[in-house]
A and B are shown apart, each in its own frame.
Chain A
């Protein structure tokens, strides 16, 4: 069909199945939201399990949360610092999307780079936290209840103590499985995000984006904001609620 080929070549911005650019852009946004919906339920399942066991094993959860929130920089919990870092990165993403829409290439490049640095900062703080928790002896399967750790001794005392809570160690272990799994899956999303934003930066550097063709930035921006949203809920659940 030579006619349809001509149409396609005339307007490489719009794929042949769409009427116009607006329809294509709306479809892009909608598709991303469908994916984000599955992500909401993916994290929702873990949050649901966390809430049930928090009710069941409140003492263990309370102790775990105290340890998580005890790692501080300048007197402020590392989780609060990380929330600030991620909220700031959401601002830089929002400005980057806006810059892509109106064709401000320099602003776009700076904001993409800024987002990348903030994302890396988040992971750096998280890595410091994990290291701290490793040496505290609470990492399941690797350092959990190392015979030398103080927590191990405390829990052993508790199990033999007047209250007789022999299951407390297992409950405490479960808290740390939830903690490392949920923050770990979130950190994995951050790593994917860093890859995507490095890709966007290269694309922007090579002048691939124009005001008409900016949807890649917008869609990746939605992803980044979503990862921020997940952290907005993980932060109170693990650090603040006791």
Chain B
């Protein structure tokens, strides 16, 4: 029998370290978005989002100390999400309705497709 999660009191420094890591990841993702890395931008932005999500789920939401059954429920949510996204995208890309990743992302260069002149921010 696992120790009930409600008894476990996390040490304060763990929360602070996780917070510093999250803020560092935030600064990292904003900094990376300043550079044009082509396809790399998407990979870095979403990779960092997944890393942040894992830190929040495991430490702030205490899944680390939760019962096995809670692990299964949490994992099931993301398994179903991956089925939703994975199978839908496979269908759209496979039928050629949506351009494949390489083609779609190359179109980000300004010469392909017209990008309206945008007003400057305040």
Considering only CB atoms, which chain A residue lies closest to B118 in the complex? A66
Is A16 engaged at the interface, CB distance under 8 Å to the other chain? Answer: no
Is A91 engaged at the interface, CB distance under 8 Å to the other chain? Answer: yes
> Which residues in B have their C-beta under 8 angstroms from that of A155?
116
Q: Is the interface of B mostly helix, strand, loop or mixed?
A: helix
Once the chains are docked, how many angstroms separate the CA of A226 from the CA of B52? Answer: 12
Please determine whether A232 and B88 come into contact, CB atoms closer than 8 angstroms.
Answer: no
Please determine whether A70 and B42 come into contact, CB atoms closer than 8 angstroms.
Answer: no
Q: A26-B67, A241-B41 are in contact. Are A59 and B56 (CB under 8 A)?
A: no
> Which residues in B have their C-beta under 8 angstroms from that of A235?
49
Considering only CB atoms, which chain B residue lies closest to A153 in the complex? B116
A: number of interface residues (CB 8 Å): 74
Q: Quick one: CB contact mask for B69-92 with A, threshold 8 Å, 1 for yes?
A: 110011011101100110011001
Query: A132 contacts which of B9, B23, B122 (Cβ < 8 Å)?
Result: B122
Q: How far is the CB of B8 from chain A (nearest CB, A)?
A: 9
Is A125 engaged at the interface, CB distance under 8 Å to the other chain? Answer: no
Considering only CB atoms, which chain A residue lies closest to B10 in the complex? A98
Q: How far is the CB of B15 from chain A (nearest CB, A)?
A: 5
Please determine whether B15 and A95 come into contact, CB atoms closer than 8 angstroms.
Answer: yes
Please determine whether A26 and B5 come into contact, CB atoms closer than 8 angstroms.
Answer: yes
What are 20 A-B contacts defined by CB distance under 8 Å? A21-B6, A22-B7, A25-B5, A36-B77, A37-B77, A40-B80, A55-B92, A56-B97, A59-B115, A62-B115, A63-B115, A72-B121, A94-B15, A136-B119, A151-B119, A154-B116, A154-B117, A157-B116, A229-B53, A242-B41
